[in-house]
Structure 1
Amino acid sequence: MIQPLFPAPSFSDLRDRVVALPDADAGAIKAARARQDSLTKPPGSLGRLEDLAVFMAGWHGVARPRIAQAQALVFAGNHGICAQGVNPFPQEVTAQMVANFQAGGAAINQLCRASGAELTVIALDLERPTADFSAGPAMREAEVLDAMARGAQAVDPGADVLILGEMGIGNSTVAAALTRALFGGTADEWVGPGAGSDSEGLRLKARVIEAGVARHAAALADPLAVLAAFGGREQAAICGAVLAARAARIPVILDGFICTAAAAVLHALDAGALDHCLVGHASAEPGHRRLLGVLGKKAVLDLGMRLGEGSGAAVALGVLRAALAAHDGMATFAEAGVSGG
């Protein structure tokens, strides 16, 4: 029996629990692949759709998986690093956008409605931003574990798939800081415009991140310590939700750069920790393609999007539904009386 992930009293305890999480069902994968090869089409002719169906089969543990319930979670947080001027918009926008989500007026509301996902938005102590990581750790260990637990608790164990997204002014800088700290390179290679930074804004982000990396050099060998040093509550909550989904064998669709950077903390902790995760789209943020290469993942879609909110993941859900409709609904050669199967 898998020990419950949360509450976890320490990072050390959480590490032990992460490595014990379940893997995909090899028997279901084999059965789903055999079904694909028996359907009325040339083998492989549906391309990535076939792989997506087999992926879902492995995590659902059945040869013909279906999506009856899709859950979308958007976590919102505020960041102390905004004190360094890295954000072109004021932090008040985070709470204003949360209100817009709750009123149904944002892009993610429309896209979840179109793709058939139930959306919940969770604001994480917006009145209490994390600390400025250029001056000290953004969060204490206990704060990280609390935010992770809140993310995990938001996951519906009855969901068939989970979409994850985020909102937080300044969090593109946080994402670039996390990826720089976890995977090396230079800050210039990870930063992007976010909500609209110009060239001087990008240079400022890079300088602030490099200063933070120098300050927190002792933390760089431990991914959870990196999350505490640079991350926000929404990044920690995303990690908690990803882990809770894995424990319940729920496939996850990650959104763009910021969401994927948060989950990448878990990849750095255990190379198989994101095996149950798809990346919904390749963000126009320049660091995302670099990060996908590090993770060894190929995005489902590439539409030039960089909004966040879970928007790209919500669109990808439609593709996933299409993959499962073909996998489940098509006739086999034998059923259709077609020669060649």
Structure 2
Amino acid sequence: MSLLATRAAFDTALSNLPPPDLASIERASVRQAELTKPAGSLGRLEEIALFMAGWQGRERPRADRIHAAVFAGNHGVAAQGVSAFPSEVTAQMVANFRQGGAAINALALACGADLEVVALNLDRPTADITQAPAMTEAECLAALNAGAEVVRDGIDLLFVGEMGIANTTPAAALCAQAFGGEAAAWVGRGSGIDDAAIIRKIGAVDRALELHGPHCGSPFETLRRLGGREIAAMAGAILAARMRRVPVLLDGFICCASIAPLAAVAPTITQHCIAAHCSAEAAHGQVLERLGLEPLLRLGMRLGEGSGAAVAAQIVRSALAAHNEMATFAEAAVAGAL
């Protein structure tokens, strides 16, 4: 049976999130204190090493196998004129991913990640969230499990990305429902829309919240009603990674929005996550603040696809190289701590 095969299984997983291995963190901390450098002199690189130790259960964590998964889905709300591009672009970009021609292909190669592309019923968009729930219960479960299935044995680090024309609209709706606030506070320019489209987008989110808000009594129901297949898949992958104690690099606004409904009831869902970057999408900083995460990078990126996480993966590699390959004071015959 799939990890998230039923709503009950999803709820059970969310209410039984495993903690990090504190003993491994302590052992890694002892090693850090013995390395030939002043204590704390590598800043967040030291924190990353301890974080990875805690989730991998190793004094010397590794990033030999980094797995990237990009999920793609189409959205009925695109009919409301909320995107600068037509829905056909989703399938075209999936073809580009599979041919190796997209930014994420180049960046995954650069950081040494295996890249998996999962297209989710591109010929059948979700329902328009201004008029109906995005997915049926069965469709939402299928999407969650499509995400969970990418989390396999032996992965040292996971990051997920997305492709889906109009998907910043459901992402904004998910954040507004999970964290509160007006639709306008969560709506940004996404693919580069003009002022008229921004007004349409805010209106679409407002209508979706009015229609579905009273029925969003659980994280599952919020994802089902306001999300999308690729968004639910990212949530499924992140939750499955937690159950398997696989550390996760979170990408941009849509990736973070995918776990907003989960974080609203289970704030510790982000314990196994590092925020890779803060994107140029207006509301991403707000989401990170609500999730309690400080991003590694601020590069003005807003592509999605897992691209920011791929860049940050190289920082994780650097952190582990320093932690694992530096000599200790005893090994280097250096007298005393610096």
So what's the TM-score if we normalise by structure 2?
0.97
4+ aligned runs moved over 3 Å, structure 1:
none
* The one of 2, 5, 9 aligned to 1:7: 5
Cα displacement string for residues 12-53 of structure 1 (whole angstroms, at most 9, x for unaligned residues): 442123222321100001111121122111111100000000
Please identify, of 36-45 and 87-96, the stretch whose mean Cα deviation from structure 2 is larger: 36-45
CA contact (8 A) 2:216 2:225 kept: no
Q: Using the alignment, how far apart are the partners of 1:63 and 1:265 within structure 2?
A: 33
Q: Using the alignment, how far apart are the partners of 1:26 and 1:192 within structure 2?
A: 39
1:117 aligns with 2:94: no
1:334 is displaced (CA, Å) by 1.7
Please identify, of 145-154 and 317-326, the stretch whose mean Cα deviation from structure 2 is larger: 145-154
1:24 aligns with 2:24: no
1:220 is displaced (CA, Å) by 3.5
Q: Using the alignment, how far apart are the partners of 2:26 and 2:187 within structure 1?
A: 41
- Which residue identity does 1:192 align to in structure 2? G
Matches within 5 A, 1:242-321: 242-321=238-317
For residue 170 of structure 2, give the secondary structure of its aligned residue in structure 1. Answer: helix
Q: Using the alignment, how far apart are the partners of 2:192 and 2:2 within structure 1?
A: 41
- Percent of paired sites with the same residue: 53
Cα displacement string for residues 224-260 of structure 1 (whole angstroms, at most 9, x for unaligned residues): 2111111000011111111221121111111100111
Cα displacement string for residues 298-331 of structure 1 (whole angstroms, at most 9, x for unaligned residues): 1111111000000000000000000000000111
* The one of 39, 56, 60 aligned to 2:56: 60
The aligned counterpart of 2:123 is: 127
CA contact (8 A) 2:219 2:262 kept: yes
Please identify, of 135-144 and 120-129, the stretch whose mean Cα deviation from structure 2 is larger: 135-144
The aligned counterpart of 1:234 is: 230
- Which residue identity does 2:17 align to in structure 1? L
Q: How many residues align?
A: 337
Cα displacement string for residues 285-308 of structure 1 (whole angstroms, at most 9, x for unaligned residues): 010000111010011111110000
1:222 is displaced (CA, Å) by 2.0
The aligned counterpart of 2:169 is: 173
1:148 aligns with 2:144: yes
Q: Using the alignment, how far apart are the partners of 2:35 and 2:178 within structure 1?
A: 43
1:5 is displaced (CA, Å) by 2.4
Q: Using the alignment, how far apart are the partners of 1:290 and 1:176 within structure 2?
A: 11
Q: Using the alignment, how far apart are the partners of 2:12 and 2:148 within structure 1?
A: 17
* The one of 121, 132, 143 aligned to 1:136: 132
For residue 298 of structure 1, give the secondary structure of its aligned residue in structure 2. Answer: coil
* The one of 308, 323, 326 aligned to 1:327: 323
The aligned counterpart of 1:50 is: 46
For residue 304 of structure 1, give the secondary structure of its aligned residue in structure 2. Answer: coil
Q: Using the alignment, how far apart are the partners of 1:331 and 1:206 within structure 2?
A: 55
1:340 is displaced (CA, Å) by 2.6
For residue 298 of structure 2, give the secondary structure of its aligned residue in structure 1. Answer: coil
- Which residue identity does 2:275 align to in structure 1? V
Please identify, of 209-218 and 165-174, the stretch whose mean Cα deviation from structure 2 is larger: 209-218
CA contact (8 A) 1:224 1:269 kept: no
1:85 is displaced (CA, Å) by 1.0
- Which residue identity does 1:105 align to in structure 2? G
Q: Once superposed, what is the RMSD of the aligned Cα atoms? A: 1.3
Q: Using the alignment, how far apart are the partners of 1:31 and 1:158 within structure 2?
A: 22
1:4 is displaced (CA, Å) by 6.4
The aligned counterpart of 2:334 is: 338
1:116 is displaced (CA, Å) by 0.2
- Which residue identity does 1:5 align to in structure 2? L
1:107 aligns with 2:103: yes
So what's the TM-score if we normalise by structure 1?
0.96
Cα displacement string for residues 107-151 of structure 1 (whole angstroms, at most 9, x for unaligned residues): 000000000001011000000000001001111122111110111
CA contact (8 A) 1:163 1:310 kept: yes
Structure 2 segments unaligned to the other structure (5+ residues): none
Matches within 5 A, 1:152-163: 152-163=148-159
1:267 is displaced (CA, Å) by 1.3
- Which residue identity does 1:194 align to in structure 2? G
CA contact (8 A) 1:33 1:54 kept: yes
Cα displacement string for residues 183-230 of structure 1 (whole angstroms, at most 9, x for unaligned residues): 111111111111111122112111110111111121234222111111
Structure 1 segments unaligned to the other structure (5+ residues): none
Q: Using the alignment, how far apart are the partners of 2:271 and 2:217 within structure 1?
A: 22
